[in-house]
Chains A and B, each alone.
Chain A
Amino acid sequence: MQVSTSPVKRFLRCTFATPAGWLARVAFCIVAAASGLAAAGDWIPLAKDGIHDPKSQAVKLLQDPGEALSKLTPDTAGNQVLWVEALKKGEIKPREKLFAKTEIRKLDRDSILDIKGGMPAVRFPHGRHTEWLDCINCHDKVFSTTPGETKISMLKILEGEQCGICHGAVSFPLTECTRCHSIPRPGQIVPVLPPGANPRMHQPAAQEP
């Protein structure tokens, strides 16, 4: 008695047995390669990034982002690099100052911003921020040093004010809600991506056709 095979296996066997099957195989490989590339980090070479002039000699001389960024701790958003981790692990050693007289100021203190509405509260870590920035970048023009004095609004942030001066422009983008809204309220669960979900599914480069 013949063992019955699944319809999928039967389809694959009869399709790939014909000459047209080879065409299908090639097409299948292209699809697989394209989705693989999209998932594996998709830094675009300077010559193809749409803003560099391909005729400029710069595109031959300057470093492509993929060459440098692929070696750093990966992320799913922004430059696809977890910059804070890359710095902490010593993968990068960015200079802190140019002038000898400049005082390096750091503060290792978390501010908890309890917010209205249903989102988890925000933990603002001064420590990670002062690794990169100086106090004057935020205080007192953007944020008052008196807790609670500056009214922070998500609308302003989305318009590129307040946290949005950097987040959404150069540091991790505003799609990463729970990285800031990280303190759940009693009985609240911080949403997590289901296992196997592509965290870059909403980004242009990762779109599946």
Chain B
Amino acid sequence: MLRRCFLILLLIGVAIVSLLGMAEEASAEYADVVINRNAEKAGMRPVIFPHWFHRIRFRCKVCHAELGFKMRAGSNLITMADIIDGRFCGACHNGEIAWSPENCDLCHSGRRGLQSGIMGGHETGGPGRW
């Protein structure tokens, strides 16, 4: 009897731990980029750039060769003036290929206080230097 109670309690314990695990596993999608060099200083939420969404629609070279985005997260100084003038994000986010820059909140959607950098599940510590 005692052993049975112990086993039941153990099973319940494991159930609770797995529920907690499910709640805590929150982490960004692999290769999401947080862009917060200027955003929060200007009173906006940080920008979240999802690589996964964009690479379904564009090859890497469109942004990283044609548009001149450097590969290292944080090495591009992107301003709203550039975007409105059709550079960087603004090459597509112009109301024709993708939504226009007036839809501030769709890009500026990050939690406040996030540090710029590439997020997700990379287990290597790289590419942390930028």
State the A residues within 8 Å of B (CB). 11, 14-15, 20-21, 23-24, 26-28, 30-31, 34-35, 37, 42-44, 46, 48-53, 56-59, 61-63, 65, 68-69, 78-79, 81, 83, 92, 94-99, 102, 131-134, 136-137, 157-161, 164-166, 168-170, 173-175, 202-205, 207-209
Contacts and interface: CB of A to CB of B under 8 A. Distances in A.
B105 A48 contact: no
Nearest to A170: B31
Contacts of B108: 56
Interface of B: 4-5, 7-8, 11-12, 14-15, 17-19, 21-22, 25-32, 34, 45, 48, 50-53, 55-62, 64-67, 71-73, 91-92, 97, 105-112, 114, 118-129
B71 A175 contact: no
Contacts of A161: 126-127, 129
B110 A52 contact: yes
Contacts of B91: 98
Contacts of B107: 58
Contacts of B60: 132-133, 137, 166, 170
Contacts of B22: 34, 37
Contacts of B31: 78-79, 169-170
Interface centre among B4, B29, B105 (most CB of A within 10 A): B29
Contacts of B66: 97-99, 102
